[in-house]
Structure 1
Amino acid sequence: MAETTVATMAAEQLAVERAYVAMLYDRLDELRAEKSAELAAVQRSANAGNHQNRSERDAFASHYEDRLAQLNAVDHRLVFGRLDTRDGDRRYVGRIGLATQDHQRLMVDWRAREAAAFYQATAQNPMGIRRRRHLILEGRDVTALEDDVLDAQMLDEEGVLHGEGALLAALNQKRTGRMSDIVATIQAEQDRIIRAPLPGVRVVQGGPGTGKTAVALHRAAYLLYEHRERLRKAGVLIVGPSSSFMWYIERVLPALGETGVVMSSLSELFPGVTAVPERDPEAAQLKAGLDMADVIAKAVKDRQKVPDRDQVLRVESHRVTLTRRIVKRARDKARATGKPHNEARNTFVKIVLRELTEQLGDHLNSTSGNVMDRSYLAEDIRQSRDVRVALNLAWMPLSPQTLVSQLFGKRHYLESAAPHLGPAQVEALLRPLDAPFTVADVPLLDEAAELLGDLDAAGVRVRADAEREQRKATDNAERALQNMHQSLEDVGADGI
Structure 2
Amino acid sequence: MREDAEALDIRDVTANWVNAEVLQHQIDERIKALADLSHTPLFFGRLDYLHAPGADVAEGAEGEKFYIGRRHVHDVEGDPMVIDWRAPVSQPFYRASKKNPMDVALRRRFGYTGGDLTAYEDEHLTDPTEAEQTSKLLQQEIERPRVGPMRDIVATIQPEQDEIVRSGLAGSVCVQGGPGTGKTAVGLHRVAYLLYAHRERLARTGTLVIGPNASFLHYIEQVLPALGELEVKQATVDDLVAHVEVRGVDDPAAALVKGDARMAEVLRRALRSHITLPGEGVVVVRGSRRWRVPSYELEEIVRELMARDMRYGAAREALPQRIAHAVLVQMERAGEAPDDRVQNAVARNAAVKAVVKEVWPAVDPAKLVLRLLSDGDFLAEHAEGLLDDEEQKTVLWAKPARSVKSVKWAAADAVLIDEALDLIERTHSLGHVVLDEAQDLSPMQYRAVGRRATTGSVTVLGDLAQGTTPWSTRSWDEALHHLGKADAVVEELTAGFRVPTDVITYASLLLPDIAPGLTPVESVRENPGAVEVRPVAGAGDVVAACVEALRNEGSVGLIAADARCEALGAALAEAGLAYLAPGEETTAEARLTLVPASLAKGLEYDYVVLDEPAAVVDGEPDERTGLRRLYVSLTRAVSGLLVTHTAPLPTQLT
- Shared fold by TM > 0.5? yes
1:103 alignment partner in structure 2: 78
2:4 alignment partner in structure 1: 34
Equivalent residues in 2 for 1:66-81, closer than 5 Å:
66-72=29-35, 76-81=40-45
1:475 alignment partner in structure 2: none
1:135 alignment partner in structure 2: 110
Cα offset, 1:148, TM superposition = 3.0
Letter in 1 for 2:217: M
For residues 269-311 of structure 1, give each alpha carbon's deviation from its aligned partner in whole angstroms, at most 9, with x where no partner exists: 136456578633223322333322222221220122359x899
Query: Aligned partners of 2:42 and 2:211: how far apart in 1?
Result: 27
2:27 alignment partner in structure 1: 64
Flag the 1:453–1:429 CA change in 2: closer, same or farther, 3 A: same
1:216 alignment partner in structure 2: 187
2:252 alignment partner in structure 1: 281
Equivalent residues in 2 for 1:214-253, closer than 5 Å:
214-253=185-224
1:401 alignment partner in structure 2: 366
SS in 1 for 2:169: coil
Letter in 1 for 2:147: R
Query: Aligned partners of 1:80 and 1:292: how far apart in 2?
Result: 51
1:468 alignment partner in structure 2: none
1:93 aligns with one of 57, 68, 75: 68
Cα offset, 1:139, TM superposition = 4.2
Cα offset, 1:350, TM superposition = 6.6
Query: Aligned partners of 2:18 and 2:273: how far apart in 1?
Result: 46
1:171 alignment partner in structure 2: 143
Q: Do residues 83 (structure 1) and 47 (structure 2) align?
A: yes
Flag the 1:334–1:191 CA change in 2: closer, same or farther, 3 A: closer
Query: Aligned partners of 1:351 and 1:162: how far apart in 2?
Result: 71
2:153 alignment partner in structure 1: 182
1:259 alignment partner in structure 2: 230
Letter in 1 for 2:238: S
Query: Aligned partners of 2:241 and 2:394: how far apart in 1?
Result: 23
Bigger Cα displacement from structure 2, 121-130 vs 215-224: 121-130
Unpaired stretches in structure 1, ≥5 consecutive residues: 1-30, 312-322, 357-374, 456-496
Q: Retained in 2: the 8 A contact 1:74–1:95? A: no
Query: Aligned partners of 2:362 and 2:241: how far apart in 1?
Result: 19
Q: Which has the larger radius of gyration?
A: 1
Cα offset, 1:221, TM superposition = 1.0
Letter in 1 for 2:5: K
1:449 alignment partner in structure 2: 421
1:126 aligns with one of 98, 101, 120: 101
SS in 2 for 1:61: helix
SS in 1 for 2:44: strand
For residues 91-124 of structure 1, give each alpha carbon's deviation from its aligned partner in whole angstroms, at most 9, with x where no partner exists: 1111111111212110000111111111111122
Cα offset, 1:268, TM superposition = 0.5
2:412 alignment partner in structure 1: 440
Flag the 1:72–1:406 CA change in 2: closer, same or farther, 3 A: farther
1:424 aligns with one of 383, 390, 395: 390
Cα offset, 1:446, TM superposition = 3.9
SS in 2 for 1:257: coil
Equivalent residues in 2 for 1:10-29, closer than 5 Å:
none
For residues 358-388 of structure 1, give each alpha carbon's deviation from its aligned partner in whole angstroms, at most 9, with x where no partner exists: xxxxxxxxxxxxxxxxx9xx99x9669xx98
Flag the 1:230–1:353 CA change in 2: closer, same or farther, 3 A: closer
Letter in 1 for 2:140: L
1:294 aligns with one of 254, 265, 268: 265
2:274 aligns with one of 288, 291, 303: 303
Q: Retained in 1: the 8 A contact 2:141–2:156? A: no
For residues 62-112 of structure 1, give each alpha carbon's deviation from its aligned partner in whole angstroms, at most 9, with x where no partner exists: 422332232127652322112223345221111111111212110000111
SS in 1 for 2:35: helix
Cα offset, 1:338, TM superposition = 5.0
Cα offset, 1:435, TM superposition = 3.1
Query: Aligned partners of 2:88 and 2:247: how far apart in 1?
Result: 43
SS in 1 for 2:154: coil
Query: Aligned partners of 1:166 and 1:63: how far apart in 2?
Result: 37
Query: Aligned partners of 1:349 and 1:190: how far apart in 2?
Result: 54
Flag the 1:277–1:258 CA change in 2: closer, same or farther, 3 A: farther
Q: Retained in 2: the 8 A contact 1:181–1:255? A: yes
Query: Aligned partners of 2:41 and 2:235: how far apart in 1?
Result: 27
Q: Retained in 2: the 8 A contact 1:237–1:264? A: yes
Query: Aligned partners of 1:146 and 1:116: how far apart in 2?
Result: 18
Unpaired stretches in structure 2, ≥5 consecutive residues: 51-61, 282-293, 328-341, 428-654
2:90 alignment partner in structure 1: 115
Q: CA RMSD in A?
A: 4.1
For residues 429-455 of structure 1, give each alpha carbon's deviation from its aligned partner in whole angstroms, at most 9, with x where no partner exists: 223454354443455444323321279
Q: Retained in 1: the 8 A contact 2:42–2:69? A: yes
Query: Aligned partners of 2:379 and 2:277: how far apart in 1?
Result: 19
Query: Aligned partners of 1:228 and 1:275: how far apart in 2?
Result: 36
Flag the 1:347–1:149 CA change in 2: closer, same or farther, 3 A: closer
Q: Retained in 2: the 8 A contact 1:145–1:162? A: no
Query: Aligned partners of 2:248 and 2:103: how far apart in 1?
Result: 53
Flag the 1:94–1:419 CA change in 2: closer, same or farther, 3 A: same
Bigger Cα displacement from structure 2, 347-356 vs 60-69: 347-356
Flag the 1:338–1:203 CA change in 2: closer, same or farther, 3 A: closer
Query: Aligned partners of 2:220 and 2:174: how far apart in 1?
Result: 19
Bigger Cα displacement from structure 2, 182-191 vs 283-292: 283-292
Flag the 1:334–1:188 CA change in 2: closer, same or farther, 3 A: closer
SS in 1 for 2:379: helix
SS in 2 for 1:203: strand
Query: Aligned partners of 2:113 and 2:371: how far apart in 1?
Result: 57
Cα offset, 1:346, TM superposition = 3.6
Q: Retained in 1: the 8 A contact 2:110–2:137? A: no
Q: Aligned pairs, how many?
A: 383
Query: Aligned partners of 2:319 and 2:105: how far apart in 1?
Result: 73
Query: Aligned partners of 1:230 and 1:184: how far apart in 2?
Result: 27
Letter in 1 for 2:167: A
SS in 1 for 2:97: coil
Query: Higher strand proportion, which one?
Result: 2
Flag the 1:146–1:397 CA change in 2: closer, same or farther, 3 A: same
Q: Retained in 2: the 8 A contact 1:146–1:166? A: no
Flag the 1:54–1:441 CA change in 2: closer, same or farther, 3 A: farther
Query: Aligned partners of 2:114 and 2:22: how far apart in 1?
Result: 34
Cα offset, 1:175, TM superposition = 2.3
SS in 1 for 2:267: helix
Cα offset, 1:265, TM superposition = 0.7
